[in-house]
Structure 1
Amino acid sequence: MTQSGAQTSGGVGLRRTLGVGDAVVIGLGSMVGAGIFAALAPAARAAGSGLLVGLAVAAVVAYCNATSSARLAALYPASGGTYVYGRERLGAFWGYLAGWSFVVGKTASCAAMALTVGAYVWPGQAHAVAVAAVVALTAVNYGGMQKSALLTRLIVAVVLAVLASVVVVCLGSGAADASRLDAGGFGGAGGVLQAAGLLFFAFAGYARIATLGEEVRDPARTIPRAIPLALGIALVVYAAVAVAVLSVLGADGLGRTAAPLADAVRAAGVPGLVPVVRVGAAVAALGSLLALILGVSRTTLAMARDRHLPGALAAVHPRFQVPHRAELAVGAVVAALAATVDVRGAIGFSSFGVLAYYGIANASAWTLSSAPASRVVPAVGLLGCVTLALALPGVSMAVGAGVLGLGVVAYAVRQWVSGR
């Protein structure tokens, strides 16, 4: 592999243009997205005031996953993330299963984010706005990674400004009460774990840094620095917002609301900020959607190179040096879903797929060293992924297991056909 990136059979590789700052921003664009505007309420319903404990549990699991991913990404700086790591460390099947989990789960998440944009921008035409958002962001990605990174910087700046306003308004108001943060309404261990599983959905964006491994400059140095930086900033932001909103609404009020941040600023006595929060939510969803399309298209590229997906999707544009066919294919599928199906309830299913993906990442990192000290983090990460997956709502587990099962069947059929 050269510094210009891995090459396809046609001799065109992806362009390495991203530095540490760009990689951190892309990770933040995925994490500090629509999840913070939506995931707090279901997490509060599950855990009560134990929401903050659930956030801490999700952060610990995310840290282990991030550390494992960073170690692997430095060794295998190629597009595809855990699809590549599982293939190289555990075998072709496990790599395929990781890729399948990521592509299917995150494609549903793309459609959910697009519909979230539509719901905030023009509720009466949510599907049409969602499709327009997908088309526009696919066009941005098609034009090259630098354009995507620039747009992500703008989106992250807007979202962080809105979230900072929410925190300042809530904590500075007379409605804030620190007693609402205590464990009086603690939802028990099961509720905390379920909340952690739901909140993990919001943390999972650092995977986008690893899946862009072929477009990062000096990946052995850049990726291990960018992943923990992005995760740390996201954790600070999430904790500040969760404390601010809980201090105003309390666990019960937070669990009942459909728009927790908007209701929090209204309860804090600043209803004029509600439209700003709604705009922030729409922009955040756009940022998540942009980063999701980037990640799914790169994993699609890697799987197409190995013929787990149609080989035509492995093409790289000779001018823009992006996987243009994979991006167009992902954009088309997401647009079709956003136009016809309401998948905003896919957070649990997406979390199941992503937890399976990171479980394989931790298992891959386990094989990097036989030293007991080096295996603590991947062991804790793997155990955490399994635990959180099993703590998700039953429907999410059933649908997730069913979709993974379909992927296994597809793999077995392909192996049988190729072996004839």
Structure 2
Amino acid sequence: MNQPQQQLVRSTSLGGAILLGLGSIIGTGAFVSIGFGVELAGSWIIWALLIAAAVATFNGLSSAQLAAIHPVSGGTYEYGYQFLNRQLGFTAGWLFVLAKSASAATAALAVGVALQNWLAGPSWLVQVIAGVTLLIFTVLVLGGLRRSNRANAILVALAIGALLVFVAVSANRPMPEVGIADEPTWRSLLASAGLLFVAYTGYGRIATMGEEVQNPRHVIPRAILATVVVVTLLYALIGWGILHYLPLTSSGDFVLSNLLPSGVWRQLVAVGAVIAMCGVILNLILGVSRVVLAMARRGDLPKQWSQLNQQRTSAPTAVWVTFIVMLLVVISGDLKIAWSFSAFTVLVYYSITNLAALRVKAEERFVPRWISVLGLISCLSLAAFIELQILYVGLILIGVGLIWHAFRASHRSD
């Protein structure tokens, strides 16, 4: 087999990598999950955001360390195999596909909720719109990363504009008085931070796309850090804006624009929300399909799924498999359940990332070990505050994945 023909083309620059990270984050995180976080943290939402940002920074640096010295498609799936063992490597890949499929489904359902409200249609229309949205962006991803990057840049710019409109409109409202009785508990604060952490983890797309990034040792760490900084500043502004609407009780179909009074500004932010969700979907289909590609190359998934197109810009079968998995989550879930499940699985995923980063040799290390230690501890700690039913489902699915992995391994050895 001609190995160069099996590698994707390195077409993404530093600016493109940053946009890739921003496009994966600014969407469901900004327009949906902050509402779930406020429901738990209340007036402490800024503290919850800062805790989530700190955890994201630790994990982002660990991801940057690994991606810079091992720049291949697959992210922590490949790092687990390279630096830990095959069971943890497989578990990371399995969790990534589950977590980010749930995140993409959350974004698609949010699009469905927004459009269903505008059309005043029946409730089942939410799933139909979500499925069609996934299909549209799956076809776009099949065109390759260069075309997807151009679309992503437009989506990111429009989404940030809509968020700044929300902040500006909210600033004109008086800040409500919050009494001691309304303050949350520390457990609610940490549970909120656990949900909000997922709103930062789009930088992981930069690592999973490592095979397509130019000069990865230079570009990937800078792109990840720049993404975390920009998003933290933006989320702080959004959190400050939401404080003007306390007390706030969100719901399973919460979207940020619903806080604004009826009128042109609300419609503008709602349009921005839909655009941002589309950006998230685009980037998650890209990221998840690359992990499916990596797992198929290694034989953890059927080898046929690793085939590239003639131009080596896409992996069509892996992309369609990704679409099917995301569609199944759309059919079976709702916004809040999908997001909570994503929170638990992604926290375990990044725990494995930090474990792998701790195994990097001293001469190749540019991130201190204590960063990865803090990342590991913080991920496992926040995972403990996710709802118990979500935790149980996540553990069961991890077990199912490991059984599949053992079956595949024994089948290959026969």
If the TM-score is normalised by the length of the shorter chain, which range does it land in? over 0.9
| Cα distance in 1 between the residues matched to 2:231 and 2:366 | 30
For residue 169 of structure 1, give the secondary structure of its aligned residue in structure 2.
Answer: helix
| Cα distance in 1 between the residues matched to 2:356 and 2:221 | 16
In the alignment, which of 33, 38, 45 is matched to residue 44 of structure 1? 38
**Structure 1: gaps of 5 or more residues:** 1-6
Q: How many residues align?
A: 405
- Aligned partner of 1:85 in structure 2 is 79
Deviation at 1:9, TM superposition (A): 5.4
- Aligned partner of 2:174 in structure 1 is 176
For residue 72 of structure 2, give the secondary structure of its aligned residue in structure 1.
Answer: coil
- Aligned partner of 1:242 in structure 2 is 239
Q: Is the 8 A contact 1:359 1:381 kept in 2?
A: yes
Q: Is the 8 A contact 1:12 1:318 kept in 2?
A: no
1:17-416 matches, cutoff 5 A: 17-123=11-117, 124=121, 125-171=125-171, 173=172, 175-177=173-175, 180=178, 185-246=182-243, 248-250=244-246, 252-253=247-248, 255=250, 259=254, 261-266=256-261, 271-338=263-330, 340-344=331-335, 345-369=337-361, 374-416=368-410
| Cα distance in 1 between the residues matched to 2:167 and 2:342 | 28
| Cα distance in 2 between the residues matched to 1:373 and 1:389 | 24
Q: Deviations over 1:58-115 (max 9, x none)?
A: 1111000000000100000000000111110001111111000001222222222222
Deviation at 1:178, TM superposition (A): 7.1
For residue 340 of structure 2, give the secondary structure of its aligned residue in structure 1.
Answer: helix
| Cα distance in 2 between the residues matched to 1:358 and 1:67 | 11
Residues 14/244 of structure 1: CA separation in 2 closer, same or farther (3 Å cut): same
Percent identical pairs in the alignment equals 33
| Cα distance in 2 between the residues matched to 1:265 and 1:343 | 23
Deviation at 1:11, TM superposition (A): 2.5
Deviation at 1:37, TM superposition (A): 1.4
Q: Deviations over 1:2-34 (max 9, x none)?
A: xxxxx9758342111100100000100111112
Q: Deviations over 1:266-313 (max 9, x none)?
A: 2xxx73311112111111111111111011000001010110001011
Q: Deviations over 1:241-274 (max 9, x none)?
A: 111111x112x225579546324332xxx73311
| Cα distance in 1 between the residues matched to 2:196 and 2:264 | 28
| Cα distance in 2 between the residues matched to 1:33 and 1:63 | 19
Q: Deviations over 1:181-211 (max 9, x none)?
A: x876331211111000010121111100000
| Cα distance in 2 between the residues matched to 1:337 and 1:388 | 24
Deviation at 1:411, TM superposition (A): 1.8
**Cα RMSD (Å) of the superposition?**
2.2
For residue 27 of structure 2, give the secondary structure of its aligned residue in structure 1.
Answer: coil
Q: Is the 8 A contact 2:113 2:253 kept in 1?
A: no
Question: Partner amino acid for 2:174?
Answer: A
Question: Partner amino acid for 2:358?
Answer: W
Question: Partner amino acid for 2:269?
Answer: V
Residues 134/54 of structure 1: CA separation in 2 closer, same or farther (3 Å cut): same
- Aligned partner of 1:3 in structure 2 is none
Question: Partner amino acid for 1:359?
Answer: S
Deviates more, 1:407-416 or 1:231-240: 407-416
Q: Is the 8 A contact 2:39 2:248 kept in 1?
A: no
Q: Is the 8 A contact 2:110 2:255 kept in 1?
A: no
Deviation at 1:351, TM superposition (A): 1.0
| Cα distance in 2 between the residues matched to 1:35 and 1:43 | 10
Deviates more, 1:377-386 or 1:39-48: 39-48
| Cα distance in 2 between the residues matched to 1:149 and 1:373 | 29
| Cα distance in 2 between the residues matched to 1:216 and 1:39 | 29
For residue 18 of structure 1, give the secondary structure of its aligned residue in structure 2.
Answer: coil
| Cα distance in 2 between the residues matched to 1:168 and 1:133 | 30
| Cα distance in 2 between the residues matched to 1:337 and 1:217 | 33
